[in-house]
Amino acid sequence: MTSNQSRSSVRLELETSYENVVALCPKCTRRNVYNRASDIGHLRAIDNQGVVCQDDDCGAHFDIYGDFINAPYEILLLDSRTFLKEKRYMQAVLSATTAYELFFIHFLRVQLLYRPLRRHNDSDSDSDVDEWFNAIASSLHDETIRLTFCPMRNLFLHVAIDQKRLETLAMAEEYIKVICNDKIKAIKSRRMEDIRAEIKCLPDAPPRSLLLRVCDTNIADLRNGVVHKTAYRPSLSETKAAVEDVSQTLFQLSEHFRLKNDDYHLNERLEHL
Ligand SMILES: [Zn+2]
* pLDDT per 10-residue tile (average), the chain, 273 residues: 71 96 97 98 94 97 96 97 97 98 97 93 76 93 93 96 93 95 92 96 89 96 92 97 97 96 87 72
The alpha carbon of 52 and the centre of ligand 1 are apart by a number of angstroms equal to 8
Show me where the domains of the chain are located: 9-65, 72-272
Report the separation in Å between the CA atom of 192 and the middle of ligand 1, taken as the mean of its atom positions.
Answer: 55
* CB burial string 34-59: b at 16+ within 10 A, e below: bebeeebeeeebbeebebebeeeeee
State the distance from the centre of ligand 1 to the C-alpha of 1, rounded, in angstroms: 14
Contact 273, 119 (CB under 8 A): yes
Q: Output the CA 28–ligand 1 centroid distance in Å.
A: 4
Q: How far is the CA of 114 from the centre of ligand 1 (A)?
A: 42
41 alpha carbon – ligand 1 mean position (Å) = 20
Distance 25 CA to ligand 1 centre (A): 4
Distance 29 CA to ligand 1 centre (A): 6
pLDDT reported for residue 205: 80
CA of 68 to the centre of ligand 1 (A): 24
Torsion of CA 267, 254, 92, 238, to 10 degrees: 180
Torsion of CA 216, 217, 218, 221, to 10 degrees: -110
What's residue 123's pLDDT? 63
pTM of the shown model: 0.91
Which segments of 17-125 does DSSP mark as H helices, in order?
A: 72-85, 89-109, 115-119
Q: How far is the CA of 59 from the centre of ligand 1 (A)?
A: 6
φ, ψ of residue 160 to 5 degrees: the values are -65, -35
In this prediction, residue 74 carries a pLDDT of 97
